[in-house]
Amino acid sequence: MGVTTGILDEVKREGRNFLLETEAKTICMEYGIPVTEFKIAKNEEEAVVFAEKIGYPIVLKIVSPDIIHKSDFGGVLINLEDSKDVRNAYKTILKNIKTRKADAKIVGVIVQKMAPSSTEVVVGAIKDPQFGPALMFGLGGIFVEILKDVTFRIAPITEDEAREMVTEIKAYPLLRGYRNMPRADIDSIVNILLNTSKLIMRHQEIKELDLNPIMVYKKGAKVVDARIILK
Ligand code: ADP
Ligand code: MG
């Protein structure tokens, strides 16, 4: 997989230990993992041109090798409805970074499609010290963070194992549709798990991967944020 190898080599050459969101999402695309459409803008004009092309609502986020948690520094603005919003958001993000993390190198601003809210799930990968690459699955937000309702499998996983991961979490009934939660496309989650398994098996230098959140719809899913950390 040429694109992924190229990106990982470049990151290593630059001595970085985590990938930019643009790099992580480009890798996802090569592995057939659906991500929100994006482009990287180098100035305000470009941000508007890309936003018009992608279509509103839009999200802008800082792209910096010095910032791993973008919203901690005011680097994420969502729900931008028109070109005026995009211009304001572009300026606000750069101002936030300048005041909260003045030494951060800025690569640009990612302009991306805002994914409609839906059921949020998380797919992760870690390196188990004993068994090597392993996959994690859970529902987003409080389910992972507070209830620890997550499941793990040693990679590589089969399709049956991916399906088991989805159905064995306690919150699984919610994915089948409950009250105001729509039914979630289980097959698209299974595909993301299988493709993530392929990715981490082929690229053993990946120490940690976090697709969080992934919006899951009645049909299809979209990765909204992707983090990849190297050894
Ligand atoms: P951070 O680096 O702070 O984790 P994220 O990219 O996760 O930054 O953005 C923070 C939050 O903003 C996300 O958890 C999500 O709720 C929302 N968000 C970010 N990008 C999008 C998007 N494209 N569509 C919808 N919501 C988004
Ligand atoms: Mg995030």
Which pLDDT belongs to residue 1?
63
Query: How far is the C-alpha of 224 from the C-alpha of 213, rounded, in Å?
Result: 6
For residue 101, report the distance from its CA to the centre of ligand 1, in Å.
Answer: 19
Q: What is the mean pLDDT of residues 218-230?
A: 98
Tell how many helices (H) and how many strands (E) occur in the chain. 8, 10
For residue 18, report the distance from its CA to the centre of ligand 1, in Å.
Answer: 17
Tokens 């070109």 found at: 83
Q: What is the mean pLDDT of residues 14-31?
A: 98
| Atom of ligand 1 minimally distant from the CA of 112 | 23
Nearest CA to ligand 1 atom 20: 224
pLDDT in tens, 31-83: 999 999 999 999 999 999 999 999 999 999 999 999 999 999 999 999 999 99
For residue 212, report the distance from its CA to the centre of ligand 2, in Å.
Answer: 6
Which pLDDT belongs to residue 6?
97
What single string gives the DSSP state of each residue in 49-105?
A: HHHHHH-SSEEEEEE-TT-SSGGGGT-EEEEE-SHHHHHHHHHHHHHHHHHH-TT--
Cα 180 to the center of its chain, rounded Å: 25
**CA-CA-CA-CA dihedral for 16, 21, 27, 28, to nearest 10:** 140
Kindly report whether the global pTM for this prediction surpasses the value 0.85. Answer: yes
pLDDT > 70 fraction of the chain, expressed in percent and rounded: 100
For residue 190, pLDDT beyond 90: yes
Which pLDDT belongs to residue 98?
97
pLDDT > 90 fraction of the chain, expressed in percent and rounded: 91
Residues with CB under 6 A from ligand 1: 36, 59, 61, 69-71, 76, 78, 112, 114-115, 213, 224-225
Of 49, 50, 45, nearest to 22 (Cα)? Answer: 50
